[in-house]
Chain A
Amino acid sequence: MSKSSIAFSGTKDQEKQLKSFISAHKSDPGPLIMIMQEAQKIYGYLPEEVQRIISKELNIPMEKVYEVATFYAQFNLVPRGKYHISVCLGTACYVKGSGKILEAIEQQLKIKNGECTADRKFSLDSCRCLGACGLAPVMKVNEEVYGKLTPDMVPKILAEFK
């Protein structure tokens, strides 16, 4: 497993929170994904250390946790930036030029799709459809949705997060 370059800094409190969620849902049918989603909510991502806690608590091999963690787009094995930008590349947004929005952000932040800025302020990825096709092209910064975008709006929006 490739290790993140960032040292794990989980707290005892977070571990307690995760363990209590696990013990409450351990006997639900097929609880693994649900527990991993909660773990990601608690820690912000799913580093090896967190996956090990889950594996131990559920008494399943680490490999079972890791194979699920790497299968789904939702799970991050490395931390994200303080502001996570997600540009929609669904069809409706794509035909309305979301590719150019992504390019504009890449240029502005000097990172590529899937990367994080050196100061960990911004991370960038693309997603497939937020269901807000009426506002295409759209992007999301953390939970905030920005619609009807044009490339020249990008610097102004990013400046909100300086």
Chain B
Amino acid sequence: MTIEKLNQIKEKFAPIVEQRLHENIHPCKDGKRIISLCAGTGCQSSKSLVIKDKFIEVLKDRKALDKVTIVTTGCHGLCALGPIMQVYPEGIFYTGVKPEDVERIVDEHILGGNPVKDLVYSETIKGDKFVSVEDTNFFKKQKRIALQNCGIIDPEKIDEYIGTGGYQALYKVLTSMDPDSVIKEVLDSGLRGRGGAGFPTGKKWALARPNKADQKYVACNADEGDPGAFMDRSILEGDPHCILEAMAIAGYSIDATKGFIYVRAEYPIAVDRLNIAIAQAREYGLLGKNIFGTGFDFDIELRLGAGAFVCGEETALMASIEGKRGEPHARPPFPALKGLFDKPTVLNNVETYANIPKIINNGAKWFKSMGTPTSPGTKVFALGGKVHNVGLVEVPMGITLREVIEDIGGGIPGGKKFKAAQTGGPSGGCISAENLDVKIDYDNLTKIGSMMGSGGLIVMDETDCMVDIAKFYMTFIAEESCGKCTPCRIGTKRMLETLERITEGKGEEKDLVELEELAGYIKDNALCGLGQTAPNPILSTMKNFRKEYIEHIKEKKCSAGVCKKLLQYKIDADKCKGCTLCARNCPVNCITGTLKMPHVIDQSKCIKCGTCFTNCKFGAITKG
């Protein structure tokens, strides 16, 4: 590959890609319409590829296949409304498309020129007009840097990535920057690790640079283990080349010639696209020997994770790449000195890498202009749980949680009341309503007892029990603890048992004191980050939702109605019509009463299965 050739491809493909930018209003140059379908995990799960085949079938039947270009892209973010497709040049945004809708879209819109209004994303309809999807509440406050190309380019075509300016940053560093100035640029940008801990990326590279060895490595942590988080998956699926380019840049700055991407086996689409991307980059000479004729060699290999949460921890991840049990080891030595195969290694997370080419192209100053002084740039969040617009959002640091949940997320469905937002996954904490206006950045989230984490953001409402949520995370951690150190192996198990007792109505007041004591002990003594942060979900819920713990322990009650053993189903005698439906369906025959007379539940026999509650047609059964 030469710069002339790279620019040739760029010139050819830039106009093609630009046609798919939302604000485009000009007719496509070739006179065709573009159908752009999302083929990320979310939309594929809601059958977007079936829709694609159906389009081809219908267009063939109408002899109009040559009037349309069909592209498949990565994730747009609005996963809950999938499958998502857009039609250009108008930029019409369709959601929830079903195979039976395809004929109408083809006949009315593609051939007839009139968008099918009832299938268009309702937020983009303003009276008779369609507004750009960029102006809807979901997208308006977002700023897409890491996700810049996701949903726009076809991730399986390197030419389209080059069309967006791809691999120009690699050319720039290889031909006009020495490794130290690359590191300085990254350091000046203030970019911090997006995997959770927030360590300055430039500093990490600077630590590895001076360490001499016959082989050094660059590694990418794509073992997105935080349940409820899918930021990295979306980047890998939607824009895999930006990760390869960034890893090559990192390789050049620390003098490494080999890279490893450690990706979850649970992400088959991401794995496929990475494999395709690596093969294409090798074919173009953008990976391999003598890149751009500069004498710089760099190649990347994929390694699949085998399902262990602890492998998100850097030393455990490296052990796993080496084919061993993913057990962490004590640091120092840090990976910068002794990492993969005992050689100096830089390990960054996917989203961190996704920012690198943009920083090189636009400069540190540009990057620093976004976000807050201590946390520049943007952060991608996987917004999930009890919120209208479940999906992937990228926002500037410094935005408030309220803006993310209420404005972008569209608030909580069903008129329910907000209770908590969980960030940072099993290492993070639950944020209560009073902190909704805190500006999101690394330091602020830590201050309010949570952490940035990798970007999972789960919203919970009044029907979620915080003691149960703490138990949920503790179950996860106790299961995933690798077992190497005692504080984590035994400590998390003991904490889980205590929580189990509390949710079963067997809690005592001294349990809270003991939980706090044990939490402190684990935090101070566990070997790795996973263990040290393991008590966070308990500590943050005990701090912010103490009332719920007290209620479970003293009153043996769960107001949210989640903890089964504390529930009582009762029949309201005024509402009960005596239809006998509940009595007939009760699996343990604990409901008695005669026809047309109020029935009664024998609490001593009730197993709290909730069958009566679900079946009652008169709302006469209460739970609480």
Contact = CB atoms under 8 A, between A and B. Distances in A.
A37 B304 contact: yes
Given A68-B325, A74-B265, A90-B228, A134 B306 contact: no
A138 interface: yes
B476 interface: yes
Interface in A103-162: 127-136, 138, 143, 145, 147
Centre residue among A31, A37, A72 by max chain B CB count within 10 A: A72
Given A92-B227, A92-B390, A131 B41 contact: yes
A34 B308 contact: no
B46 interface: yes
Nearest to B311: A72
A31 B323 contact: yes
B157 to A, nearest CB: 23
A69 to B, nearest CB: 10
B458 A91 contact: yes
A128 B225 CA distance: 8
A134 B326 contact: no
A34 B323 contact: yes
A24 to B, nearest CB: 14
B618 interface: no
B228 A34 contact: no
Interface string B31-73: 0000000000110111000000000000000000000000000
A142 to B, nearest CB: 12
Contacts of A93: 228
A37 B386 contact: no
Interface residues of A, number: 37
Contact of B45 (A67, A72, A95, A145): A145
Contacts of B382: 92, 133
A33 B323 contact: yes
Contacts of B320: 33
Given A30-B324, A91-B472, A37 B42 contact: no
Contact of B456 (A33, A91, A147): A91
Contact of A71 (B41, B79, B326): B326
A32 B324 contact: yes
A29 B225 CA distance: 24
B481 to A, nearest CB: 12
Interface residues of B, number: 55
A50 B284 CA distance: 39
A134 B458 contact: no
A95 B325 contact: no
B23 interface: no
Nearest to B226: A129
Interface string B70-96: 000000001111100000000000000
Contacts of A147: 45-46
Contacts of B265: 37, 74
Given A90-B227, A94-B472, A95-B386, A33 B341 contact: no
Contacts of A90: 227-228
A80 interface: no
Nearest to B266: A130
B458 A92 contact: yes
Contact of B341 (A30, A34, A92): A30
B386 A132 contact: no
A26 to B, nearest CB: 12
Contact of B306 (A37, A92, A96, A136): A37
A32 B321 CA distance: 9
B51 to A, nearest CB: 15
Contact of A91 (B82, B324, B385): B385
B341 A135 contact: no
Contacts of A83: none
A135 B306 contact: no
B306 A74 contact: yes
Nearest to A67: B325
Contact of A34 (B82, B227, B304, B482): B304
Nearest to A64: B324
A72 B46 contact: no
B307 interface: yes
A37 B322 CA distance: 14
A42 to B, nearest CB: 15
Interface in B197-230: 224-230
Contacts of A71: 308, 325-326, 482
A84 B324 CA distance: 27
Given A91-B385, A131-B266, A133-B384, A30 B323 contact: yes
Given A37-B306, A72-B308, A134-B390, A128 B476 contact: yes
Contacts of B229: 129, 133
B464 A68 contact: no
Interface string B284-325: 000000000000000000011111110000000000111111
A134 B320 CA distance: 30
Contact of B391 (A67, A94, A129, A134): A134
B174 interface: no
A89 interface: yes
A73 interface: yes
A105 to B, nearest CB: 16
A75 interface: yes
Contacts of B542: none
Given A67-B325, A92-B228, A135-B79, A130 B41 contact: yes
A128 B305 CA distance: 13
A74 B265 CA distance: 8
A64 to B, nearest CB: 8
B156 to A, nearest CB: 19
B324 A134 contact: no
B230 A133 contact: yes
B233 interface: yes
B531 interface: no
B307 A74 contact: yes
A135 B80 contact: yes
Nearest to B309: A128
Nearest to A134: B79
Given A67-B325, A92-B228, A129-B228, A29 B341 contact: yes
B267 interface: yes
Nearest to A72: B306
B322 A30 contact: yes
5 contacts: A30-B321, A68-B323, A73-B307, A92-B384, A131-B234
Kindly list the 5 A-B residue pairs having the minimum CB-CB distance in the complex, ordered from nearest: A134-B79, A90-B227, A92-B384, A32-B323, A73-B307
Given A31-B323, A72-B307, A91-B385, 6 more contacts: A71-B308, A74-B305, A91-B384, A95-B385, A135-B45, A143-B268
Interface of A: 29-34, 36-37, 67-68, 71-75, 89-96, 127-136, 138, 143, 145, 147
